[in-house]
Amino acid sequence: MISDTYTLQKVIGRGGSSKVFSAIDREGHTYALKTIRRDKEYTSEMESMMVMREYMVMMHIGEHPNIIKHYSCNPEGDNQTPCYNVMEYCQNGSLSSIIKKSGAIEENICRFMFLQLAAAVQHLHSKHFCHLDLKLENTFLDEHFNLKLGDFGSGLSLANTNDLTSKKVGTPLYIAPEVKQDIYNGLKADIYSLGVTLCLMLLGELPDTSAFQAEKSTVGSSDIEGDSDVFMDESNYEKLAYLSNSSKDLLSKMMDLNPDSRPSIDQILAHEWVTTKDASGMEFIVFQEMQARTDFISADKEM
């Protein structure tokens, strides 16, 4: 029991500064409790600030069907009870875990799921807010396999800054190359990370598979390493050969090394690959496909 309200069940996620548990309240409803990791030895003031900051960020962003809901927070931790945020529970976990264990997603299904992710990013960018850690590990699936964007601990409001920031955060594989500079456009950096995420959804593997590790997060660090140009190397184009021309066109534009040449999120949603087929009626097809994948993964674990 935590705070006499929630009974912790199991660890469902772990980040650079936090640990996430599934938890049940007194009425039997399930939530995700994001707690501050005690092994990091943050001061109580720092723990409280981190929890309150994410909660206030979510209040600023507001609700969206493809963004994980935040319900409340407890910034007053003690020796027995950590500070925590109470969030929506997504019972089918992260999209990352499914793709790593079952492979690439067929384009029509990927398009439907990407539309949901892009809609969440559009909502953020319309408020001049950048996520700064867009990746598969931060995209989650609810009971119907609807996609939900989460983990806004690195997010930043760019209001009154011309969308510029100097914040050095992210995960190496997904980081736009310009983040290493003194100042950069946070919205354009998000677009690059979103492009890498889409590439992973469509390919199911990476040119450098060793980089596909959640543990390599550098969130909160100014020491960012890794080759952000790996997808643009000519030797990797063979891996994209079976994709449609329109998907490759969108990927190349989103991961353009020049941030000024990348499309906005509105332009992405108007791109031929996104609009070429009507997404209506895809919900059941996506559900069947993703359920089959999770069933396969579960069966494989039992063997």
H helix or E strand, kind and range, residue 16? none
User: What are 286's two structure tokens?
Assistant: 């996506």
Q: Which residues neighbour 96 within 8 Å (Cβ) at sequence distance 6 or greater?
A: 135, 136, 137, 139, 214
Per residue in 195-230, is it b (16+ CB within 10 Å) or e — as a string?
bbbbbbbbbeebbeeeebebeebbbbeeeeebebeb
Q: Coil, helix or strand for 25?
A: coil
Question: CB under 8 Å to 93, separation ≥6 — which residues?
Answer: 12, 140, 141
**Six token digits for residue 83:** 């500070």
Residue 71 parent element (H or E): strand 70-74
Sign of the dihedral through C-alpha 160, 166, 169, 174: positive
Name residues whose C-beta falls within 8 Å of residue 15's C-beta, 6 or more positions apart in sequence: 151, 153, 217, 219
Q: Which of 25, 133, 229, 256 is catalytic?
A: 133
Residues 57 and 121: their CA atoms lie apart, in Å, by 15
The DSSP bridge partners found for residue 31 are 23, 88
Q: How far apart are CA 33 and CA 23, in angstroms?
A: 7
Specify the pairing of strand 147-149 against strand 139-141: antiparallel
133 is catalytic: yes
Q: What is the DSSP letter of 168?
A: -
Query: How far is residue 277's CA from residue 186's CA, in Å, rounded to a whole number?
Result: 30
Residues serving a catalytic function are 133
